[in-house]
Amino acid sequence: MLFLLRRSLDRLPLYYCLVALSLISLSSPALGDEPLIEFDGMSFDTWADFTASELFREQGLRCGSRFDEFASEKSAGDPSDCTMNFTNPSAEYAPGFSYPIQVVVHVITNAAGGQGNISDAMVQSQIDILNEDFLALSGSLGENGNDAAIQFELASLDPGGSPTNGITRSANNTWFNDGGAYYNTLAWDPSRYLNIYTNKASGALGYVPFLPQEGSVGSNSDRVVILWSSFGLNGPIGPPYNKGRTVTHEVGHYFGLWHTFDNGCGQANLPGCQTTGDRVCDTNREQTPHYGCSASSTCTSSDPIDNYMNYTDDLCMEQFTPDQVRRMRCTLENYRAGLIEVSLAVSEATPVARSIVLRQNRPNPFNPTTEISFDLTESGRVSLQVIDVAGRLVRTLTDGQTAAGSHSVLWDGTDNNSHQVPSGIYLYHLITKEGKATRRMVLMR
């Protein structure tokens, strides 16, 4: 079987990550039938030979991204803690409360269905890998990383509220070749769901079209696209890119991370490290992307070969740094708060207590005020508190005897000292003699 690879870097969207292998036909060869891979007049017997070649590295075929083209861009009104060109590693964004993210995977095959097929089990394996890496789960390849407290689950309800397994399937040659604006047809509200598409990815192993800080969040084009053969555990593409880390890498971009080598070495110390290089202070400085897993140094420290945002092999990727975690959580809270809101809507389908009802605040997200409603079947002492994600009391909204029936309280985004609190995720906690209930809300200033 012949696999043709042609250069198409001039048409690759920004943030294409991992190998740029355009016009790939990746059906599995029969046992003993090794594929022939040709690129610019050169032939390779196996994928391993190709990805280990000087051609692969010299041509930058692991990524078509050109980050330096927009390094100075900045969208108007960016939240100040995680803009395109600045990261504030504030403890406010340290992992505390876990954020469940609803995911929909759109599996796209060619029209005949012979290429691009991914089983439900393979889809679930990729969700498992995301959780291993973002939660640094013990016993997994990601256990040496840092827990971001961001958890992924296949959507259980579709945008209309109907039960779903979180997977859609389409057979279309144009869409399989990453053309035809398939996302305008297939997307589930991208402000509320992480939409992942599997197809040929225009020749890359994966890409996102933009960082959320650039804008267009919530548009149909807001998505993660993955080469189908590198999706899931032990995908057909084979080593060294078959452990699902392409998706981990791309979702890192989806949550606002630069490559570790973007914009060169940058500065190593505050405040310069917050505005240069990858805008993250605790990633080792790196001048150029790193391939394989061997040690090297392109700046003043060893290259971060274990970082998910490098170009190393899947097996040596094992961590986001603590400040990368904080930048992602800042991005989630300030740019992708709708992802949190839909998880709240899913949880709202299950009553939080049998004898009391604590409703989701409205509006949510909100600025500057929101209404919190609850019902009591019996009169008694009631306490309603606002708590931050670190568990600290922010505001007591009510505390005293309350009659049975329906009640509502307004919160104006201030603390007990009448000071405005910053944007972010807050919990509101209701305590009664009948039970306790807690929900989350998002303040966006």
ω into 239 cis (within 30 of 0): no
| Length reported for the chain | 445
Residue-level pLDDT at 58: 66
Q: What is the pLDDT along the chain (445 residues), one digit of tens a residue?
A: 222 333 333 334 444 444 443 333 333 333 333 345 555 567 767 656 766 777 666 655 555 444 433 333 333 334 688 999 999 888 878 887 778 899 999 999 999 999 999 999 999 999 999 999 999 998 999 999 999 989 999 998 888 888 899 999 999 999 999 999 999 999 999 999 999 999 998 878 899 999 999 888 999 999 999 989 999 999 999 999 999 999 999 999 999 999 999 999 999 888 899 999 999 999 999 999 998 999 999 999 999 999 999 999 999 999 999 999 999 999 998 899 888 765 555 544 443 444 567 888 888 888 899 999 998 888 889 999 998 876 788 999 999 999 988 899 999 999 999 999 998 888 888 888 877 778 878 888 7
User: Catalytic one among 250, 286, 318, 333?
Assistant: 250
Q: Token pair for residue 236?
A: 């057909």
ω into 365 cis (within 30 of 0): yes
Count of other CB atoms within 10 angstroms of residue 371 = 14
Residue-level pLDDT at 62: 57
Residue-level pLDDT at 43: 79
Sign (positive/negative) of CA torsion 128, 134, 138, 139?
A: positive
- Is 256:331 a contact under the CB 8 Å cutoff? yes
Using only C-alpha atoms, what is the Rg of the chain? 23
Q: 3-class SS at 381?
A: strand
CA–CA separation, 271 vs 121, rounded Å? 46
Residue-level pLDDT at 174: 98
Residue-level pLDDT at 193: 95
Is the overall model pTM greater than 0.75, yes or no? no
- Is 397:372 a contact under the CB 8 Å cutoff? yes
Residue-level pLDDT at 339: 87
Residue-level pLDDT at 215: 81
Q: Active site includes 318?
A: no
Q: Token pair for residue 217?
A: 């969040």
Residue-level pLDDT at 106: 98
Residue-level pLDDT at 341: 64
Residue-level pLDDT at 60: 56
Non-local (6+) Cβ contacts of 234 within 8 A are: 242, 243
Cα 303 to Cα 51, 318, 319, 414, distances in angstroms: 20, 14, 13, 44
